[in-house]
Amino acid sequence: MSDKSPVTKNHLTMKEIVSAEFEQEVLKADKVVLDFYSSECPPCEALAPKFESLETLYGEDIRFLKVFRQQNRDLAEKLGVYSSPTLIFFNKGHETGIRLSGGIKRSEIMHNLNALLPADKVNKIRSRIKPFTTPYDVAIIGSGPGGLTAGLYLCQARINTVLIDTGLPGGHVSLTHQVSNYPGFIDPQPGYLLSHNMSEQTKKCGSEFKVAVDVTRVDLEKKEIVIDEYETVLAKKIIVATGTSPNYLNVPGEKEFKGNGISYCATCDAKYYGDKEVMVIGGGNSAVEEAEFITRFASKLTVVHQFEKFQANKQAQEKLLANPRVEVLFRHEPRSFTRKGDKMIVSLQDLETGKLKELSVDGVFIFVGLKPNIDLLGGKLEIDNWGYIKTDEDMHASVDGIYAVGDVRSKKYRQITTAIADGTIAAINITKELDN
Ligand SMILES: Cc1cc2nc3c(=O)[nH]c(=O)nc-3n(C[C@H](O)[C@H](O)[C@H](O)COP(=O)(O)OP(=O)(O)OC[C@H]3O[C@@H](n4cnc5c(N)ncnc54)[C@H](O)[C@@H]3O)c2cc1C
């Protein structure tokens, strides 16, 4: 991975410390940001160039230090650091601001760094940021299975390609508990592993990754993508592979308690509900499969669905309904979410009688379908009635040089295999078009 420094000033040397140096180098220093990293850690790799380029900007006022977590476990445990990377900010020996971990964005780090400095200093630093442009043959927006496959084929064709993602590589698959229908594996594969392997394969081939970034602006006609507000990626062709995001119910309390009692990802959050009472809202494939996964943890699960039967595949339904800890409320819809102490209170309406009742649970999972991620495209592409991007069989979208692949594309079946097929087709076509 590479990331150019946004400033012209020479890069400072980043210091690495060990546990024994913590007191002297961190607690007795003025302002410090400490990066706990590990080896073989893709989010750490994604962070490294951002951390280095920010040291060039802020390094005169704030010390940038790294700690290799695997060799300094005692310090990591003492500070309660259990994942890599983790960034901790210190001011005069005291921890300050919010710890950052996972797919850390440049803007999040800058927010914490700016909070350590007076406003005039922050303005001076901002004024030193010099925007720049990097040319590529192909830019792929989104690094789920569709984008990663296109990136692999293009890289193998020696086409200079960059993958840009607001999150970490892998897309939905990285958050799917088990994948049992991906050909080539006899046993179900953990989604995180499958997506990790796809992403490492594309990376190893040589495609460049700019991940956990803010995509500030996309100009499809000029083929420009502005990331983190200062770097412009200029491409000859753009592949849109941004997939889908969960639908919201748009019910009072939903936004307020999102991430704090309401979740849209069982793989991410079900583990926090061991021996707790949980509600799942929805009745399609995702809802029923994810509900079944949640039963591994929850002591009781109530599934709420608006219709009189599930729309999910029969096998998954039967498995869920056979579980004695699962209760189903068909023909019910949620009307509001509130909180009482640790409990979520869900107001439910019986669609037959119109009567409202309240259920108290520890957590709520919502799986009511997905919507295409097209907001960044500024309404320039032709879409179908549901907002998915229309393409021809070669994955060309309605603007010249723009392609769409995977779940964001208008099509009948949205699976890993179909996303991969789209990515393959777009990449082969682009290779031929760039050759001509
Ligand atoms: C709960 C669940 C379980 C599933 N289980 C299976 C299964 O068992 N088998 C199967 O075949 N399929 C399964 N699917 C479907 C499968 O995951 C998708 O079909 C597949 O991931 C689509 O790949 P994609 O690359 O098109 O999009 P995604 O996987 O959605 O990836 C899109 C990527 O684009 C990024 N992105 C979004 N917006 C932007 C932006 N503005 N700028 C930059 N990047 C952006 C996202 O961060 C993401 O990394 C499941 C889906 C869900 C939701």
Task: Answer left, alpha or beta for residue 92, where phi above 0 means left and psi between -120 and 50 means alpha.
Answer: left
406 lines ligand 1 (CB under 6 A): yes
**What class does CATH assign to 7-127?**
alpha beta
pLDDT tens digits, one per residue of 117-139: 999 999 999 999 999 999 999 99
Quote the pLDDT of residue 14: 77
Closest atom of ligand 1 to CA, residue 266: 1
Please tell me whether the peptide bond between 85 and the residue prior to it is cis, using omega within 30 degrees of 0.
Answer: yes
Quote the pLDDT of residue 11: 44
In angstroms, the CA 49 to CA 104 distance is: 12
Nearest residue CA, atom 5 of ligand 1? 176
pLDDT tens digits, one per residue of 413-434: 999 999 999 999 999 999 999 9
Regions of the chain where pLDDT drops below 50: 1-12
Closest atom of ligand 1 to CA, residue 181: 9
145 lines ligand 1 (CB under 6 A): yes
Buried b (16+ CB within 10 A) or exposed e, 26-45: beebebbbbbbbbeebbbbb
Find the catalytic residue in 61, 137, 219, 269.
269
Task: Reduce the DSSP state of residue 431 to 3 states and report it.
Answer: helix
CATH architecture of 262-366: 3-Layer(bba) Sandwich (3.50)
Quote the pLDDT of residue 3: 39
In angstroms, the CA 347 to CA 338 distance is: 8
Quote the pLDDT of residue 40: 87
Q: Is the CATH code 3.50.50.60 the one for domain 132-245+370-435?
A: yes
Partners of residue 348 on adjacent β-strands: 334, 357
Q: Residue 265 catalytic?
A: yes
DSSP 179-230: E--STT-SS-EEHHHHHHHHHHHHHHHT-EEEES--EEEEETTTTEEEETTT
φ/ψ of residue 280, rounded to 5: -115, 135
Q: Residue 155 catalytic?
A: no
Question: Where in the chain are all domains bearing CATH 3.40.30.10?
Answer: 7-127
SS (HEC) of 320-341: HHCCCCEEEEECEEEEEEEEEC
Closest atom of ligand 1 to CA, residue 422: 26
Mean pLDDT of the chain: 93
Closest atom of ligand 1 to CA, residue 415: 19
Question: Where in the chain are all domains bearing CATH 3.50.50.60?
Answer: 132-245+370-435, 262-366
Q: Residue 205 catalytic?
A: no
195 lines ligand 1 (CB under 6 A): no
In angstroms, the CA 430 to CA 32 distance is: 46
Distance 206 CA to ligand 1 centre (A): 22
pLDDT tens digits, one per residue of 323-335: 999 999 999 999 9
Quote the pLDDT of residue 31: 97
316 lines ligand 1 (CB under 6 A): no
Query: For residue 2, how far is the Cα from the chain centroid?
Result: 20
